[in-house]
Amino acid sequence: MTHWPRLTLASGPVDVPHEALRAMQQPVVYHYDPVFIEAFERTTGMMQQVFNTTHDIVILQAEAIAGIEAAAASTIEPGTRVLNLVSGVFGKFFEDYIRRYGGETIELSVPYNAAIDPDDVRRVLDVEPNISVVSLVHSETPSGTINPVGEICRIAKEFGAVTIVDTVSGLGSEPLDVDADGIDIAIAGPQKCLAGVPGLSLMAISPDAWARMESLENPVRGSFLSLLDWKSTWIEQKRFPYTPSVSTMYSLEATLRLALDEGIDNMIRRHHRSAEATRAAVEALGLELWAESVEVAGANCTAVRVPDGIEDKALREAMRNRYGVMISGGYGELAGKLFRLGHMGLSAHPTAIIAQIGVLERSLADLGHKVEFGAGVGAAIAALEGWDDSAT
Amino acid sequence: MTHWPRLTLASGPVDVPHEALRAMQQPVVYHYDPVFIEAFERTTGMMQQVFNTTHDIVILQAEAIAGIEAAAASTIEPGTRVLNLVSGVFGKFFEDYIRRYGGETIELSVPYNAAIDPDDVRRVLDVEPNISVVSLVHSETPSGTINPVGEICRIAKEFGAVTIVDTVSGLGSEPLDVDADGIDIAIAGPQKCLAGVPGLSLMAISPDAWARMESLENPVRGSFLSLLDWKSTWIEQKRFPYTPSVSTMYSLEATLRLALDEGIDNMIRRHHRSAEATRAAVEALGLELWAESVEVAGANCTAVRVPDGIEDKALREAMRNRYGVMISGGYGELAGKLFRLGHMGLSAHPTAIIAQIGVLERSLADLGHKVEFGAGVGAAIAALEGWDDSAT
Amino acid sequence: MTHWPRLTLASGPVDVPHEALRAMQQPVVYHYDPVFIEAFERTTGMMQQVFNTTHDIVILQAEAIAGIEAAAASTIEPGTRVLNLVSGVFGKFFEDYIRRYGGETIELSVPYNAAIDPDDVRRVLDVEPNISVVSLVHSETPSGTINPVGEICRIAKEFGAVTIVDTVSGLGSEPLDVDADGIDIAIAGPQKCLAGVPGLSLMAISPDAWARMESLENPVRGSFLSLLDWKSTWIEQKRFPYTPSVSTMYSLEATLRLALDEGIDNMIRRHHRSAEATRAAVEALGLELWAESVEVAGANCTAVRVPDGIEDKALREAMRNRYGVMISGGYGELAGKLFRLGHMGLSAHPTAIIAQIGVLERSLADLGHKVEFGAGVGAAIAALEGWDDSAT
Amino acid sequence: MTHWPRLTLASGPVDVPHEALRAMQQPVVYHYDPVFIEAFERTTGMMQQVFNTTHDIVILQAEAIAGIEAAAASTIEPGTRVLNLVSGVFGKFFEDYIRRYGGETIELSVPYNAAIDPDDVRRVLDVEPNISVVSLVHSETPSGTINPVGEICRIAKEFGAVTIVDTVSGLGSEPLDVDADGIDIAIAGPQKCLAGVPGLSLMAISPDAWARMESLENPVRGSFLSLLDWKSTWIEQKRFPYTPSVSTMYSLEATLRLALDEGIDNMIRRHHRSAEATRAAVEALGLELWAESVEVAGANCTAVRVPDGIEDKALREAMRNRYGVMISGGYGELAGKLFRLGHMGLSAHPTAIIAQIGVLERSLADLGHKVEFGAGVGAAIAALEGWDDSAT
């Protein structure tokens, strides 16, 4: 039987702290039991705090991709013109939903190691009429890059568009101001920077978004992908459109409690400092960052170009099989071109970063790559100066 | 703060045994970690055994309603003629999906305390041409009634229709022969008779069903509701269409292990004997079964007409608030007309049945109903003669 | 493999609520980690509240029998005259410790279905000179009987004796006023009425007791059974005499939190009402209480004489094997003479009482005993009038 | 509130794997429930395999210090002459028990960074008549040193002595052959190299040991510290002398299962390789090993002399407070002279070793010590060449 990993440093799901695992040992109760109704209500309230928003919260009971599709299904109808901003694999995927729900895609794209320029967004919106929806990805996990969501959404709102932001892995690692930035539908995942259990879509939905959904010729109701169903049941009547995932919700409550205890700003800072230390190690080892610049590099994982003479899969397997360290490779069209060092959730911490770089050094050497042992780790250690768990 | 219930005797989710809760304390790993891939594979294999089928298994990562909608979305297109058999609230709901995906509904319905007659199905299929899909509910949990799924599906197959069977609460309490009966898409839920954690759709999909899905003008792909996505990823390549619910899958593995250890036939027998004892108690207390006959009454819950002079909600609240026993009431148009005594999963057992009837007697008396204390429980005890946990 | 029991209605260990089990999923840390030191301190503080005492708390890291022996070892030396009050098996056992540590036993005993009369204690102390220690059992679990601890200890203090009270199963089911009653060493167990995990001795130790321990010719130090070791390490320096049971201590913290949330008085009342309902059922079934009078009967279990024609072991095995209900039999010299219906901890509740009596009725009938089904349960239900979980 | 540690690299208790924590979520049952009796029996059987012995197993229900005292209490009586071998703090402690139980100590000691020479043992036994008991410590955790237990015990048996070996932290990190080496009473702890939950003494007891115990003038019976009680109850009758620690026993079963799955020899090898890598790092950082030679250094922790200019406590607090890494300091008279790097249990693994050395480097620098970042880690990485989790 395969050994359990010692460190899960992948790009989500990531290791979940005991508080959030333990919560799932609470008895499964009927979803209309007062105990569960109260827990759901508390959790929704905490979600609003974690998103720092006054918007309505919908916790769709399936992985974030369902939330993203629900956002598309609920706001796009035949003929809807959608500006889809593409700086990576996930941004490109959204086009499938636009097509599925009958919309027309206007694409603005950049190479997958770069970020969307807000000025370009303005330029497109200036010339393209009747864009009702603008969609973009905050943190492109597959390439470890980010987009300036705030500036872009503020521009989109000037043009009257509804904005859909996939911040699945952005929440907790990158600053986000849902209300001030005009993010109409934000979708986050618990299993990324929050270090929660996968299986839920965490959504903040603005009045403009609700208005858009209700204005469709056939508003989406009576479907697993309907957001309006949640409005008319949970939000308005404290009922459920279907059986919620009781245990996973228990866990989410604990996850959000941990996030609020740490403070979202502290959590973001922790991810940023972890990314800096990791990039220092990458550079010291003579490896090349995937992101075209530090500004574009995200804080929850660091994508690294696969060095010449090394096979990506062999490297990851050496790390996993010999030393129990699981990292993520490239995804989709990025497969084989990059590997990703993880510092997401609990692993955005010196112990995990040092262990990871050390095992990377050992594994590169195992595969015949020339490595000065300690060079990468030493650079990371230097970059971690001033770290202090007890300060938060 | 509200007290935890002492006994969850509702109609799902129900109390989950420690083995299946404990499984969720396994570390959350990356979904492409070999440990998880192996677990998913084992679980799929066990699911096939529990369904006793050779058909492909899809474990959609959301509550069973998503699986039901996925079945509709994947097999119904504009113009599809669907025979929808309606003997309860859930059967009626399916019509919404037929409409949403452009199909035409031919309905055969009976009162919600009765079962569909297979002969009537044949009669309709004889006169209605071009029925491509026949949909029905095995166990109508809201009214505690069942349908003769096997006979009906065998007839439907004679006419070349694809059969969709909602056996969400049927699996484990009622006999089911997926392959021999020609059930093309069976959808079950872990959180009913299997006593698992909610959040998954357990599906068995026949070659005829796959062929139907691929024959649509626009086969459904690239959607959370796509079954073909699972075929082209997990089934064919051991990849996932999206991030699975890691912890919930761990739990399902334990749930299926328990089911196989007990034996599905033993599990069904346990539910049937529990239902008999419960019905004996209901009768002894002078209460009236909802089902028009014993043949129509299901084995996982017993719906009882609310007696004159008692308010349904007050009764359930007395049981829950005073004695910690949570049962389900009526649902949809059945609200206020019936309450449901539960014997689903772990609670299909003498201890739970006796406690439930005892608390029902106490609560009825609390609300001013005349009760001979011990009459119901005594009848249940008599009916439990020969019960033996150690025999299985 | 043997089935898990459905209901553990034994006389301890008993079923542990999820809160206290879940606490053991907290990571095991080094015992000098600040997290553990803080937890131990919080727990000690709560223990003082649960005992409602100002005395020092020692949580000896082994089952309560170790605490009882430690009390003996620490206060008895060659020549010490001990008045040992015996109303049951556990009281009699204490004589072994008196002997082992060189003391001389003066015994005052009553039949094992009766209680010690405080006047008799005074009479003995009046005539017996130089009694330094008086030892007694609060709740004699093996026979389900109690002693008037308060009156007895107040008398003993008049005579200058140090009092040792085994309230292992008394705490939580019988009133106890450690300080006012002059209980110098109280020993309780978490695994009885508090429904905690076994493995600890919960002790409250008065200044008089410490003085006695230090006055011995060879005060007991440097031993697992030394209480003075705890005084000089944990109490005075927040160090440990040896490695504490980290996980069990986590669980105790949760157990005490639950006790304080419920309120000890409410907990005691709950046990008393449960005992009343159980006795009503016993009487209605024509069975005979072991205790010579209701005043002597304890609130955490009800000992019942084995009826003619029934073999105790066969009865308990039928209840356990056929219906999953585990109860305790007689113990020591009481074996075969009585069986004990349990209402200790979580099971001091209508659901457990009703289920237990129902299964008892069924099992008695299985063994050929004539039973009017429902008679016992009906009497219990009647006796439970006015019960209300939500009132506490 | 204090943060949880990220890595517990102390000298026990250490981090416990999820399998052994999860086992404690099994319901607490009555200790005479067949489920528990069977579990206790399985666990005893596995303990025999882990000890690789044919001797009887006693699992005393308290921390290993109780087992050590029980060994003394059961074999030493007034007048017994005991050869106590002292190479560290724990060896010296044993003298207290010899005194407490009336024995006479003949001490053979070496400095606390050295090991006992078997030839010296022979020399003492040659000249000292009537030595009935020889006691020694296998792995002196406080100083990270070991003794050649096998050679010593074989010599002691030549002289007819009963041997008592404290292998609390030796089992799993150092080779041990209980039967062939003539170890009459071996005492191990679950919370050390086995990575189990603390609270139990794991003992293997030879026929010679039983004979010795029974030959005392007053054999120890009727006490928490009696081993003969376990012989006459559990071993001979499958009864318990008192209530066992149900949850902790569940956990032990899982712990032993993991040990057998890995293989004790693999576990020992893993500890040895971890120690080598750690020593390489210590040397590369210019720090000094406490042990006088590599042969004397144990495999479960590496004691390091506190370097000039650094205060031991400040170093450990920096590692714990800033970086969440908990290590142990010196103990007793060693306090302030050494700190201990941990590689015991789960942390005997590259990820923990690398993280630990990295955090040590960072913390030394934080305190003003001159460190070439990466030097220690680099040496450890080099020393880990050929490590392969998947090979075991």
Q: List the single residue in B18, B21, B25 with the smallest CB-CB distance to D21.
A: B25
- C38 contact residues in D (CB cutoff 8 A): 1-2
Taking an 8 Å cut-off on Cβ atoms, the answer to whether D247 and C243 are in contact is: no
Give the span between the Cα atoms of D346 and C24, in whole angstroms: 18
A41 at D interface, C-beta within 8 A: no
Give the span between the Cα atoms of A331 and D186, in whole angstroms: 54
C352 at B interface, C-beta within 8 A: yes
Give the span between the Cα atoms of A49 and A47, in whole angstroms: 5
| Chain A with chain B: Cβ pairs closer than 8 A | 201
**Which pLDDT score, from 0 to 100, does residue D187 have?**
98
Give the span between the Cα atoms of D206 and D156, in whole angstroms: 14
For helices B375-383 and C375-383, the axis angle rounded to 10 degrees is 140
Which residues sit opposite C140 in a β-bridge? Answer: C145
**Which pLDDT score, from 0 to 100, does residue A82 have?**
98
Give the span between the Cα atoms of D295 and D299, in whole angstroms: 10
Give the span between the Cα atoms of C175 and C170, in whole angstroms: 8
**pLDDT tens figures, C300-345:** 999 999 999 999 999 999 999 999 999 999 988 899 999 999 999 9
A185 CB neighbour count, 10 Å cutoff = 31
> What part of A 117-156 touches D (C-beta under 8 Å)?
none
Residue B115 backbone phi and psi in degrees, to 5: -115, 155
**pLDDT tens figures, C137-165:** 999 999 999 999 999 999 999 999 999 99
Distance of CA A11 to the CA centre of its chain: 9
| Chain B with chain C: Cβ pairs closer than 8 A | 135
Do D146 and D136 form a contact (C-beta atoms < 8 A)?
Answer: no
Residue B301 identity (one-letter amino acid): C
Q: Cα–Cα distances in Å, from D392 out to A326, D269, D382?
A: 18, 10, 21
Between strands A145-146 and A139-140, the pairing is antiparallel
- Range in A330-334, B377-381, C72-76, D40-44 with the lowest mean pLDDT: A330-334
Q: List the single residue in D18, D21, D25 with the smallest CB-CB distance to B18.
A: D25
pTM: 0.97
B33 at D interface, C-beta within 8 A: no
Q: What rounded mean pLDDT belongs to chain D?
A: 97
Do A349 and A384 form a contact (C-beta atoms < 8 A)?
Answer: no
SS (H, E, C) chain A: CCCCCCEECCCCCCCCCHHHHHHHHCCCCCCCCHHHHHHHHHHHHHHHHHHCCCCEEEEECCCHHHHHHHHHHHHCCCCCEEEEEECCHHHHHHHHHHHHCCCEEEEEECCCCCCCCHHHHHHHHHHCCCEEEEEEECEEHHHCEECCHHHHHHHHHHCCCEEEEECCCCECCECCCHHHHCCCEEEECCCCCCCCCCCCEEEEECHHHHHHHHHCCCCCCCCCCCCHHHHHHHHHHCCCCCCCCHHHHHHHHHHHHHHHHHCHHHHHHHHHHHHHHHHHHHHHCCCCECCCCHHHECCCEEEEECCCCCCHHHHHHHHHHHHCEECEECCHHHCCCEEEEECCHHHCCHHHHHHHHHHHHHHHHHCCCCCCCCHHHHHHHHHCCCCCHHHC
- A28 contact residues in C (CB cutoff 8 A): none
Q: For residue C317, with 0-12 CB atoms within 10 Å meaning exposed, 13-18 middle and 19 or more buried, which class applies? A: middle
**Which pLDDT score, from 0 to 100, does residue C301 have?**
98
Map tokens 């609060």 to a residue: C138
Residue B20 backbone phi and psi in degrees, to 5: -80, -25
Give the span between the Cα atoms of C270 and D255, in whole angstroms: 38
Map tokens 């995937």 to a residue: A290
Is residue D391 very low, low, confident or very high in pLDDT (cuts 50, 70, 90)?
confident
**Mean pLDDT of the D232-240 span:** 98
- Please check the confidence at residue A332 and state whether its pLDDT lies above 90: no
Q: List the single residue in C325, C385, C390 with the smallest CB-CB distance to B351.
A: C325
For chain B, which ranges sit under pLDDT 50? Answer: none
Taking an 8 Å cut-off on Cβ atoms, the answer to whether C22 and A22 are in contact is: yes
Give the span between the Cα atoms of B253 and B19, in whole angstroms: 10
- A21 contact residues in C (CB cutoff 8 A): 25
Residue B359 identity (one-letter amino acid): V
Do C254 and C190 form a contact (C-beta atoms < 8 A)?
Answer: no
Distance spanning both ends of chain B, measured CA to CA: 40
**CA dihedral of A262, A263, A264, A268, whole degrees rounded to 10:** -60
D13 at C interface, C-beta within 8 A: yes
* Largest Cα span, chain B: 64
Taking an 8 Å cut-off on Cβ atoms, the answer to whether C354 and B359 are in contact is: yes
For C112-174, the DSSP string reads: TTS---HHHHHHHHHHS--EEEEEEESEEGGGTEE--HHHHHHHHHHTT-EEEEE-TTTBTTB
DSSP H or E segment with residue B172: none
**pLDDT tens figures, D81-120:** 999 999 999 999 999 999 999 999 999 999 999 999 999 9
Give the span between the Cα atoms of C179 and C270, in whole angstroms: 24
Give the span between the Cα atoms of D118 and C227, in whole angstroms: 38
Map tokens 């890995």 to a residue: D262
Interface probe, candidates C15, C21, C22, chain A, greatest A C-beta count within 10 A: C22
C372 at B interface, C-beta within 8 A: yes
Query: Phi-psi category of C207—alpha, beta or left, where left has phi over 0 and alpha has psi -120 to 50?
Result: alpha
**Mean pLDDT of the C88-112 span:** 98
Distance from CA of A188 to the nearest CA of C (A): 27
**Which pLDDT score, from 0 to 100, does residue D332 have?**
85
CA angle centred on D35, ends B255 and B272, rounded to 5°? 50
**CA dihedral of D98, D99, D103, D105, whole degrees rounded to 10:** 70
Distance of CA A107 to the CA centre of its chain: 22
Whether the ω angle into residue B207 lies within 30 degrees of 0, i.e. cis, is: no
Q: Cα–Cα distances in Å, from D344 out to A205, C137, D5, D136, D361?
A: 50, 44, 16, 21, 20
Closest residue in chain A to residue C25, using alpha carbons only: A22
Residue D258 identity (one-letter amino acid): L
Taking an 8 Å cut-off on Cβ atoms, the answer to whether C3 and B349 are in contact is: no
Do C193 and C343 form a contact (C-beta atoms < 8 A)?
Answer: no
**Which pLDDT score, from 0 to 100, does residue C332 have?**
85
Q: How many helices (H) and strands (E) does chain D have?
A: 16, 14
Residue D133 backbone phi and psi in degrees, to 5: -135, 135
For C67-79, the DSSP string reads: HHHHHHHHH--TT
Distance from CA of C356 to the nearest CA of B (A): 7
Give the span between the Cα atoms of C190 and C63, in whole angstroms: 9
Distance from CA of D19 to the nearest CA of B (A): 8
Neighbours of chain C (3+ CB pairs under 8 A): A, B, D
Q: Where are the alpha helices (DSSP H) in C149-245?
A: 149-158, 178-181, 207-215, 227-230, 236-237
DSSP H or E segment with residue C375: helix C375-383
Give the span between the Cα atoms of A33 and A243, in whole angstroms: 12
**Which pLDDT score, from 0 to 100, does residue B331 have?**
86
Between strands C131-137 and C56-60, the pairing is unpaired
- Please check the confidence at residue D160 and state whether its pLDDT lies above 90: yes
Closest residue in chain C to residue B284, using alpha carbons only: C374
Do A283 and A328 form a contact (C-beta atoms < 8 A)?
Answer: no
Q: For residue C262, with 0-12 CB atoms within 10 Å meaning exposed, 13-18 middle and 19 or more buried, which class applies? A: middle
**pLDDT tens figures, A107-161:** 999 999 999 999 999 999 999 999 999 999 999 999 999 999 999 999 999 999 9
Do B124 and B82 form a contact (C-beta atoms < 8 A)?
Answer: no
For B197-220, the DSSP string reads: -SS-EEEEE-HHHHHHHHHSSS--
**Mean pLDDT of the A350-355 span:** 98
- Please check the confidence at residue C1 and state whether its pLDDT lies above 90: no
Which residues sit opposite C8 in a β-bridge? Answer: C326
Give the span between the Cα atoms of A352 and A346, in whole angstroms: 8
**pLDDT tens figures, D185-214:** 999 999 999 999 999 999 999 999 999 999
